Amino acid sequence: MEETTASHEEAQEAREEKETLQTDEVETPSQPEKVEQSKDLQSAIAQKEHFRSKLEKAEADKVALETRLKGFSSQPTGSPMEAVRLGKALAEHSEEEADMVITYAKGKFDTLTPTPEQIIQASKDDWVATAISANREKVAGENKTPEPSSPASTIGGLNSEDVEKLDTKAFAKLVRKGMEGGTGI
Length of the chain: 185
Look over the chain and give the mean of its residue pLDDT values, rounded to a whole number. Answer: 79
Give the predicted TM-score (pTM) of the model.
Answer: 0.40
Distances (CA, A) of 18 to 9, 13, 30: 14, 9, 19
Confidence of residue 2 (pLDDT cuts 50, 70, 90): very low
What is the DSSP secondary structure assignment for residue 155, as one 8-state letter? E
| Ranges 55-69, 84-98, 162-176: which has the least confidence | 162-176
Distances (CA, A) of 94 to 35, 56, 68, 100, 157: 78, 51, 37, 10, 40
Residue pLDDT, tens place only, 78-102? 788 888 888 898 899 999 999 999 9
What pLDDT was estimated at residue 34? 45
What is the number of other CB atoms lying within 10 angstroms of the CB of residue 128?
A: 20
Of the candidates 168, 185, 169, the one whose C-alpha atom is nearest the C-alpha of residue 177 is 185
What is the DSSP secondary structure assignment for residue 93, as one 8-state letter? S
- 182 vs 90, higher pLDDT: 90
Sign of CA dihedral 172, 176, 182, 185: positive
User: Which residues are paired to 154 by β-bridges?
Assistant: 159
Q: How many CA atoms lie within 13 A of 22 on its CB side?
A: 6
As a whole number of angstroms, the distance between CA 114 and CA 111 comes to 6
